[in-house]
Amino acid sequence: MEELKFTKTHEWVKLEDDLATVGITEYAQKSLGDVVFVELPKKGKEVKQFLPFAVVESTKTAADVYAPLSGHIVEVNDDLKNSPQLVNEDPFGKGWLVKIKAINLDEINNLLDEASYNEFLKTQEH
């Protein structure tokens, strides 16, 4: 998973050229519990780094999802409309949320690599 970058709000991003695939992390989906609904933005919506752009609802709570990079939504995972549990079953694969066309690639430097994210997680456990 070395190609992934992470936020402190538990999103992951995989950047290929200027196309960023975004989802929530294993930690986030476990914390939420069973995901029952995912509210995704419309294609074309502009998102800003570290601001909310989607909502994931579980049997326990609802949580905002924050953009790891600024840009425009170019694709949403329509499979989540009928199968929101994919976020739990495969958060780094079929459970991805959106694809963002990044407008400032330097923002990737504001994110954590996997080792740093794992260190950060140690501070989250009670």
- What pLDDT does 66 receive? 98
Q: CB neighbours of 80 closer than 8 A, spacing ≥ 6?
A: 38, 40, 86, 87, 95, 97
Q: Whole-angstrom Cα distance, residue 27 to residue 9? A: 10
- What pLDDT does 74 receive? 98
87: nearest Cα among 111, 63, 120: 63
* Mean pLDDT value across the chain: 95
- What pLDDT does 3 receive? 86
Domains and CATH numbers, the chain: 4-103 (2.40.50.100)
